[in-house]
Amino acid sequence: MNILSRFLLSGALLVTSSVYSQELIDRVVASVGGNIILQSEIEAQYSQYLGMGYKPGQPTRCAILEDIMYQKLLLVQAAHDSLKVSDSQVDQEIERKLQVYIRQFGSIENFEKFYGKSVEAFKVDIHDKQKDFLLSQQMQSKITGELTVSPQEVHAYFNSISPDSVPLINSEIEIGQIVKKTAVNPELKKYAREKIEGVRKKVVAGELDFCAAAGAYSDDPGSKNNCGLYKGIQRGQFVPEFEAVAFHMKPGEVSEVFESDYGFHFVQLVERRGDEIDVKHILVAVPSAPADLLLAKAKLDSVRNLIVNDTLKFCDAAAKYSDDKDTRNACGLIVNPQSGTTLFEMSLLGQVDPGIVFTLNQMKPGDVSQPVVMQTKDNKQAYRIIYLKRRTQPHKENMKDDFPKIQEAALAQKQQKVIRDWVNRKLITTYVSITNDYLSCSYDNNWTQAANKKIK
């Protein structure tokens, strides 16, 4: 694992590092351009690597220190280049990561029990660390963001790999889907409207606190466990119906109920900062009627019969019948958000879409599944049929089958070289100090030489 990949991974660890650091006796182990590094920072990240399944010594504390020194060097340069990260950007990133961790713990209560403090205290604890990481990311993008690799460079990279070192590629699958959502039931739509109107009435009358109302009634998973709050919203982030209301309110004002594809909403403007706002939000989704779900299933049964009887190609069926905007114009194929391709390792697919794995285990390439229930992005039930386009066999990496992977590795190697050259240039004029017990480490860059020199 090189300094670039370790640095990127360390950003994911920032969220929980302070849980461990509070239990450690601290000392300063290094300083880069006046930015000190504590032993607790190293131990916190080391504990997190072990918690992720790495074996002791993978990576070593020396490697972790080098990652942190690299981040501090990026911060020195970011300050020199006057780079800025707004508090709203920091808060938004903290909110995003916080929602991931709350889902992993199962509830806010479980998260707070593990952490030993409230969610708000947690946000305060990690605010500065998160701001530093975003600044260092921004600085790294200035260094490597414009880099690309040509096909010739990709071939040269692959040819430089020893035959014994060519990696084994696990089995991967390529899948498509056709989604059929339920039609809106007028009676259930009326029920949802009356429900949210009643909640709003109590909030406006002061009979119900907005935070309590969001927790008890909101169907918005992104905000209900955070008092309905969204911070740092800019235009273009939410659906037009939401923004048309939220960006035309006064602080403290509670909107009327309005409708979008997600259901019925009302919002309260908390604060405005130019073109950026903080709002509290409650959503009541229109539930699906069991009869409407059965109708969606029956429609997909008919579509599936056309496909398996070779009357209609899956690609054409997706374009004609699927209600999923993300896949219907791409032959129904699902894109892997990590790689940008349509190939998934089964274990990683399970992380993205756990409900799909059981269905795929019963299928062979070319099969189309029976209709199965799914949860849509707006938290509603729908039906879909799954198409297993292909399943690759485990194989040695090769240019024909694995060009995107090899291209990505070639680019990472090029980025690593540019970063190494940049670090070693900056170390010539940057003050570095390292305690004796870490001076004996074997670093990828010239940190030891920098610590031993005198800056003139």
pLDDT at 21: 44
Q: What is the pTM of this model?
A: 0.60
Report the sign of the C-alpha dihedral through residues 316, 321, 324, 325, in that order.
positive
Yes or no: say if 176 and 331 are a contact pair by the CB < 8 Å rule.
yes
pLDDT at 19: 47
Architecture of domain 3-149+403-452: Orthogonal Bundle (1.10)
Domain locations along the chain: 3-149+403-452, 172-183+289-396, 186-284
Compare 128 and 8 and report the one with higher pLDDT: 128
Yes or no: say if 160 and 107 are a contact pair by the CB < 8 Å rule.
no
Burial code (b: 16+ CB inside 10 Å, e: under 16) for 129-155 equals bbbbbbbbbbbbeebbeeeebeeeebe
pLDDT at 11: 55
pLDDT at 149: 96
Spatial CB neighbours of 104, under 8 Å, sequence gap ≥ 6 = none
**Residue 344 pLDDT grade (very low, low, confident, very high; cuts 50, 70, 90):** confident
Kind plus residue range of the DSSP H or E element containing 271: strand 263-273
Spatial CB neighbours of 393, under 8 Å, sequence gap ≥ 6 = 171
**Residue 220 pLDDT grade (very low, low, confident, very high; cuts 50, 70, 90):** confident
Spatial CB neighbours of 218, under 8 Å, sequence gap ≥ 6 = 224, 228, 281, 282, 283, 284
Q: Which phi and psi (to 5°) does residue 428 adopt?
A: -65, -35
Check if 3-149+403-452 and 186-284 are the same fold.
no
Yes or no: say if 423 and 69 are a contact pair by the CB < 8 Å rule.
no
DSSP string of 100-136, one letter each residue: HHHHHHSSHHHHHHHHTS-HHHHHHHHHHHHHHHHHH
CA terminus-to-terminus distance, the chain: 35
In the chain, the percentage of residues whose pLDDT exceeds 90 is: 55
**Fold adopted by 186-284:** Chitinase A; domain 3 (3.10.50)
| 172-183+289-396: CATH, from 2.40.10.170, 3.10.50.40, 3.30.1300.10, 2.60.120.10 | 3.10.50.40
Give the HSE-up count for residue 123: Cα atoms under 13 Å, Cβ half-sphere.
Answer: 18
Burial of 23 (0-12, 13-18, 19+ CB in 10 A): exposed
The tens digit of pLDDT for each residue in 363-394 reads 999 999 999 988 777 667 899 999 999 988 88
Burial of 197 (0-12, 13-18, 19+ CB in 10 A): middle
